[in-house]
Amino acid sequence: MSQLFNENRRTKKNLKTPKEIIWEIEEKNNLEISLIKKIFANFCWIFLLIFRYILYPFCDFKIGILYSDKIGRFLGNTEFYFRKKSLLKNKKFSLHLLIAGKTVNHQILKMISRKSFLIHNIKIYNFFNNIKKLTLDSNLWIDLNITGWLRGKEWTAAKPQLNFLPSEEKKGKKILESLGLKDNDKFVCIFAKDNLYSDDPTKPPKPDSFWSKKDFRNCNIENYMKAAEFLTEKNIFVIRMGTHKPSKTLRTTNSKIIDYTGKIRQELKDAEFADVYLPAKCEFFIGCTSATYQFASIFNKPVAYTNMVPYGECGRNFHDIFIFKKCLDRRNNKILSISESIKNGVTGDWLTEDKILELEKKEIFFQENSPDEILDLTKEMHQRLNKIWKKKDDEETLQEKFLKITNIYTSDGEKFPGKVCYDFLKKNEKLI
């Protein structure tokens, strides 16, 4: 997997990351369709190919099956498709049809419909999705398996592609007013994934499921409170995001720290709109290894990533900074270096269930970032955005050491966009 991860960063012909390859394999393997339906699906595919051939001299006809039931793939993958399309030179007229089924956010779907032809129908989605699974390699399909953040300029050079209507801007301002914010008030969104979170807002994970009990992405919201208090001292509001009622409510008397997820969100008429609008308008987003930060990143809002695992998940844009979970070997109570962590399988951009169980057998577990580490990250992001960050003499050297060890590349050879928080890297220099 490590070799695969590195090779995919160096080769333009193969832009797939390990996570994306896993997605494709799952897509091919999860085809449950009868023989008769397979024959019919292949017949329809041939018809579509002929239709595409007829149209080809005049326009580029393609179909895209949106991953509208998963937050990360829905937001990040679709946004990358639009960004990549916006950068094309000598554009040929395109007739691109996007199809969505069950969706995790109807506001995003509305915004997509302003950019492209869109069909939102579960039966039509299922029909075309079955055809796609049978014919994945066909040029008929728009490749929406690509997340974009490791593509270099294809992601960073393009502007955000989704936008709000004037009426939506008015609605968003009313929501901010209802939360106690005035017109010029600044705010930061925070999110810490817990065991009640799922990509599907309508279906929290089962308490006894593997990913509920052993999800390496989970972290404790209480560890973020030092950072939140710091921001309020700078007269910046803090809004805790999330689509599920969390396992822990915020214990604070600070009126500038707002626990949006839970009761407030439940009482909103259009919570899905607020889920999009708030991160899109924040100063920056403090998140973790969970797709919720995509609500900010697709609008190019800076993200301060905490508790990131594994290393390939870190940093989407050049203004992003991050810290990551350390690997603790409980056999000798030792924090592993990055090299040691990679040797034990903490590499690439995804950890499978098998890999997690393998780490557990070795008694290797992930250690959450401390309140002070998250505070340092928050302070640095605040200073950088306000242009008061004082560059350190060894800053670039430490970053280069990290990149050399982790061996993270963008597919077009560009420098990896994200930066490790300086204080975190300096205090943990032994890891590199």
Q: Could you read off the pLDDT tens digit of each residue along the chain, which spans 432 residues?
A: 333 334 334 344 446 676 777 777 777 666 666 777 778 878 888 889 999 889 888 889 999 999 999 898 899 999 999 999 998 887 778 899 999 999 999 999 999 999 999 999 999 999 899 888 888 778 899 988 877 666 667 888 899 999 999 999 999 999 999 999 999 999 999 999 988 777 676 677 777 778 777 888 999 999 999 999 999 999 999 999 998 888 888 889 999 999 999 789 989 989 999 999 999 999 999 999 888 999 999 999 999 999 998 887 777 788 899 999 999 999 999 999 999 999 998 876 778 888 899 999 999 999 999 999 999 999 999 999 999 999 999 999 999 999 888 877 666 667 777 899 999 999 999 998
Radius of gyration of the chain (CA): 22
The CATH superfamily holding the domain 166-431 is Glycogen Phosphorylase B; (3.40.50.2000)
Contact predicate 259/242, CB 8 Å: no
Whole-number Å distance between alpha carbons of 235 and 112: 35
The label of the residue with tokens 């199809």 reads 99
Q: By C-alpha distance, which of 109, 17, 108, 88 is closest to 299?
A: 108
pLDDT value at position 412? 65
Give dist(CA 413, CA 349) in Å, integer.
Answer: 18
Digit-coded pLDDT (tens) for 242-278: 988 888 888 899 999 999 997 899 899 899 999 999 9
- What amino acid occupies position 218? N
What residues contact 97, with CB distance under 8 A and at least 6 apart? Answer: 61, 62, 63, 64, 116, 117, 118, 119
Question: Which residues have a Cβ under 8 Å from the Cβ of 272 and sit 6 or more positions away?
Answer: 105, 106, 107, 201
pLDDT attached to residue 81: 93
**Alpha-carbon gap, residue 342 to 6, rounded angstroms:** 12
- pLDDT tens digit sequence for 354-379: 889 999 999 999 999 999 999 999 99
**What is the model's pLDDT at position 44?**
87
Tell me, what's the pLDDT at 2? 37
**CATH 3.40.50.2000 residue ranges in the chain?**
166-431
Beta-carbon contacts of residue 126 (< 8 Å; ≥ 6 apart): 101
Token duo for residue 44:
């329809």
305 is written with which tokens? 């990533």
Enumerate the β-bridge partners of residue 94: 60
**Cβ neighbours for 69, distance < 8 A, ≥ 6 positions apart:** 101, 102, 103, 104, 199, 200
Of 262, 257, 225, whose CA–CA distance to 238 is shortest?
Answer: 257
3-state secondary structure the chain: CHHHHHHHHHCCCCCCCHHHHHHHHHHHHCCCCCHHHHHHHHHHHHHHHHHHHHHCCCCEEEEEECCCCCHHHHHHHHHHHHHHHHCCCCCCCEEEEEEECCCCCHHHHHHHHCCCEEEECHHHHHHHHHHHHHCCCCCCECCCCCCCCCCCHHHHCCCCCCCCCHHHHHHHHHHHHHCCCCCCCEEEEECCCCCCCCCCCCCCCCCCCHHHHHCCCCCCHHHHHHHHHHHHHCCEEEEECCCCCCCCCCCCCCCCEEEHHHHHHHHCCCHHHHHHHHHHHCCCEEECCCHHHHHHHCCCCCEEEEEECCHHHCCCCCCCEEEECEEEECCCCEECCHHHHHHCCCCCCCCCHHHHHHHHHCCEEEECCCHHHHHHHHHHHHHHHCCCCCCCCCHHHHHHHHHHHHCCCCCCCCCCCCEECHHHHHHCHHHC
